[in-house]
Amino acid sequence: MELKRVVVTGLGAVTPVGNTPEEMWENLVAGVSGAGPITHFDTSKCKTQFGCEVKGLNLSDYVDRKEARKMDPYTQFAMVAAEQAVRDCKIDLDTVNKNRIGVIFGVGIGGIKTFEEEVSYYAKNEEAGPKFNPFFIPKMIADIAAGQISIKYGFHGPNYTTTSACASSSHALADAFNLIRLGKADIILGGGAEAAICMCGLGGFNAMHALSTRNEDPEHASRPFSASRDGFIMGEGAGCLVLEELEHAKARGAKIYAEMVGSGMSADAFHITASHPEGLGAKLVMTAALEDAGMNPEDIDYINVHGTSTHVGDISEAKAIKDVFGDSAFKLNISSTKSMTGHLLGAAGAVEAMVSVLSVKNDIVPPTINHEEDDKDEEIDYNLNFTFNKAQKRTVRAALSNTFGFGGHNACVIFKKYDL
C-alpha cells in the first residue's frame, strides 16, 4: 500500500507570547519572554509566584459567552486555536466532506482548574452533601476539547484525545499524520491545549521541585542549557495544525506551509518523572522519526528541543542529539522556545511543531534566550549551536521537534519544505 503525503494547511495558536500564530512567531523571533508574575490567583504562599500566562485574549471573538461558561479554560484555548486554524486553511464548510475530517487533540492534565474549584467547594460544604455543578465532569475530562471542536463544526471523522503528559500533542500530531497517510481521513485538526496555572497545578509541580523559583526575575528564569537553570516555568495555551492529504489540499487550491514527513515514539522505561540520564528514549525517538521520514541526520537543519530548563533533562537531550546526529549535530541549529513560552505541558508539542513549521517556511531559527556566556554547564557541549539569545537566518530544509513527558513518554515529529 502506498502511503499518502500529508501537508500543513492551517495554523492556530494561543500562547503566552501571542494569541495568533503571526503574533507568536514575531515575538519568538524577537526573543520576547512571556513570563511574569501570576495574575490568575494569589501566589503569596507559593514557592513559585510567576508563570507564562496567556494575556489579552478576547474569548468572545471566538466562543459564545454562554457556551464558554460550560468549558474549562483549557477547552476555551483549544476552541480559539481551532477556530483560527479552520479560518486559516479556508476549507469550505458547506461543501467539504465532514465525515472525512477528524480532530485529535493532546491534553496532559485536562480541566484541573475546574476540578480544583468543584472539590474546594465540596470540601468547604461537606455537611451539605455532594453538590456539584452539572458541568463539572464534562468540563474536567481531557477528551472534551476534541469533542467540543467536532461539535462546533460537525466534523465526523476520527475524534479523540492523546494523553502522555508533555508529549501529548506530539502524539496527537503523529496519530493524525498516520491516519491521513493510511487514507482514514482527508483532514485532521491536530493539536493540544493546557491550562494548569492554578493553585493545584503550581503547588503540585512545586512539590516535585520541578519549577523555577527565580521569583525576583521571571523574564530570565527559563534558561535552557545554562548552568544556573533551576526548573521550568509553567505555561498555558493551545496550538492547532490542520493536517491534510496532499491531493485533497491541491484539489482545493490550499496554501501549504510545509509537509509532515515523519514521526517517532518511544519510552524511557526508567523513572516516573526523570528522563533517562543518557537520553536513551530521546535517541530512540529521534532515530525512529528519521527512519519514518526516510531521512538522514544531515537532512535536518533545525531541532526544536524539549529543552525545559531542568538539570537532568537538558543534559540528556543534548547527549542524545550528539549520539544520533554525529558530526551533523554541529552543523544544525538547536533552540528551546520554552525559554520564551514557558512549558505548555500538553500543548507544548503542538505549539513547538508550529514553530518548526514556521521555521521551515521562513528560514529563520528562533533563539534560546537568557543564556550568559559565562553560565556554562560542564556536562553540556557548547560546540552545539543552541541559537543563544538571537534568532539566526539560515535555510531550513527540515525541522525536527522533540517532546518528552513524565512517565518516560517520548514523541518526535518532522516537517520539511513542500516540493512537488
Residues forming a β-bridge with 102: 188
Residue position matching grid coordinates 492523546:
162
CA pair distance 182, 290, nearest whole angstrom: 19
Q: In the numeric block, which cell numbers belong to residue 115? A: 476540578
DSSP letter at 209?
T
Tell me which residues are annotated as active site: 166, 306, 343
